[in-house]
Amino acid sequence: MTDPHPAASRGFSTSEFERRTDAAQKIMAQCGLDAMLLTTEPEVRYFTGFDTIFWLSPTRPWFVVVPSKGKPIAVIPEIGAPSMSLTWVTDIRTWLAPRPEDDGITLLTDTLHEVMPNDGTLGLPMGHETHVRMPAADFRRLQSGLDGISIADGTDVVRSLRMVKSEAEITKIARMCSIASSAFADLPNHIKAGDTERQAFAKFKIDLLQKGADDVPYLVGSSGPGGFTDVINRPTDRVIIEGDMLLLDTGSLYDGYSCDFDRNFAFGHASDAAKTAYDLAWRATEAGLQAARPGITTTELWATMGKVLEDGGCSGHQIGRMGHGLGMQVTEWPSLMAGDDTMIEADMVLTLEPGLAFGDGKMMLHEENIVIREGGAELLTRRAARDLPIIT
């Protein structure tokens, strides 16, 4: 069987990790950061290539230090050493975790003192969409062991780098979007009125895996007569019946890179209100597709889609975030919303996600994934049908 989806090789070349590290070190120098401390999965993977689902276990912390020069240093539990040694990282320091009385803190402190001046500044992502993945008590211990080293917010280093994707990253997202587009296109062949939400979602998930997704960590949605009222639900045992609307929204993974888009379906028939809401969301997305290009801001792009919704009768209150960055995570910086004001650049991967409320508190949500090129937006998803698909 020929593979109908865009090719994407697995992993990254060492030169890609070198480029990422060099770029981070340039920004660190501009910001006066002598090293960066990374504690979360996407950041560790971004700089090292270390790719394991072991992060699901809350038991062990994992640390990566990006010094001002040279390669990242891994300070990790011994159990991760074989996997980390397959990456480009060569300086791998381990301890036998779990060891609650000193779960890597001494090892990390020593490493930081080794690579930083005594009065240096350590960058740590502390801003929006970040958290510090280690026990707060251990973080306090780390701080007190740093002596003259101070900690500053290093969010901008990872944010500015991760927002703009390499071609290798884009091909992985493009492949995943193509696989999910095929699964959405086939969905009417698999699901029918009479299925429970749980059955319908399970069939979709299995089809995604059979079509080549590595994993389907994110799958939410909802069904209801004439529409649905919630868009972040897990499926329930509710039986889908004629007259229902159904939304499925997936963040599936190919080689650690995500799609994030949804599709709407009606069963048997649809109300004029639902068709009108679908049309409005479709047109708002279309306006976003036409407008997205380097040199406008996320807020201008948001306003362009918002104008379509407002002209269609939505109140300003309903118009919140209408898209976001996409990559290793199902949602990433930036946000398409008022006040974000991020300048859009070539090779950003974004979702366009206009939504609105209609009728009696029902919701309509469209979503497409795009990559920004010099000439404008390129669709990574196969565009949603022009008219609300009706499964009969």
Residues lying near a second copy in the complex (CB under 8 A): 10, 40, 51-54, 56-59, 78-80, 82-83, 96, 98, 100-101, 103, 124-137, 140, 153, 198, 202, 205-206, 209-210, 214, 217-220, 229-234, 237, 251, 320-321, 324, 329-332, 335, 337, 339
Q: Alpha-carbon distance 184 to 219, whole Å?
A: 12
Beta carbon of residue 208, minimum distance to a second copy (angstroms, whole number)? 10
Q: Alpha-carbon distance 71 to 66, whole Å?
A: 7
Letter for the amino acid at 178?
Answer: S
Is residue 122 within 8 Å of residue 37, measured between CB atoms?
A: yes
In degrees and rounded to multiples of 5, residue 388 shows phi and psi of -50, 115
Beta carbon of residue 255, minimum distance to a second copy (angstroms, whole number)? 10
**Cβ closer to a second copy: 196 or 373?**
196
**Cβ closer to a second copy: 286 or 352?**
352
Beta carbon of residue 196, minimum distance to a second copy (angstroms, whole number)? 12
**Cβ closer to a second copy: 214 or 279?**
214
Q: Alpha-carbon distance 244 to 261, whole Å?
A: 20
**Cβ closer to a second copy: 32 or 320?**
320
Q: Alpha-carbon distance 259 to 176, whole Å?
A: 6
Letter for the amino acid at 217?
Answer: P
Is residue 55 within 8 Å of residue 91, measured between CB atoms?
A: no
Letter for the amino acid at 238?
Answer: R
Contacts of 256 (CB under 8 A, 6+ apart): 45, 51, 172, 214, 328
**Cβ closer to a second copy: 291 or 319?**
319
Beta carbon of residue 386, minimum distance to a second copy (angstroms, whole number)? 28
Beta carbon of residue 22, minimum distance to a second copy (angstroms, whole number)? 25
The tokens describing 336, both together, are 């398409």
**Cβ closer to a second copy: 82 or 375?**
82
Q: Which single residue is written with the structure tokens 């949804």?
A: 262
| DSSP H or E stretch at residue 229 | none
Give the dihedral of Cα atoms 231, 237, 240, 246; nearest 10 deg.
Answer: 20
| DSSP H or E stretch at residue 130 | none
Beta carbon of residue 154, minimum distance to a second copy (angstroms, whole number)? 10
Q: Which single residue is written with the structure tokens 């996320």?
A: 298
Residue 135 DSSP label: -
Q: Assign residue 292 a region (left: φ > 0; alpha: ψ between -120 and 50; beta: otherwise).
A: beta
**Cβ closer to a second copy: 152 or 390?**
152
Beta carbon of residue 11, minimum distance to a second copy (angstroms, whole number)? 10
Beta carbon of residue 130, minimum distance to a second copy (angstroms, whole number)? 5
The tokens describing 158, both together, are 């990872």
**For strand 150-153 and strand 121-124, is the pairing parallel, antiparallel, or unpaired?**
parallel
Beta carbon of residue 26, minimum distance to a second copy (angstroms, whole number)? 23
User: How far is the CA of 187 from the CAs of 13, 69, 244, 278, 319, in angstroms?
Assistant: 36, 50, 15, 18, 29
**Cβ closer to a second copy: 192 or 321?**
321
**Cβ closer to a second copy: 8 or 389?**
8
Is residue 354 within 8 Å of residue 278, measured between CB atoms?
A: no
**Cβ closer to a second copy: 103 or 169?**
103
Letter for the amino acid at 134?
Answer: M
Beta carbon of residue 319, minimum distance to a second copy (angstroms, whole number)? 11
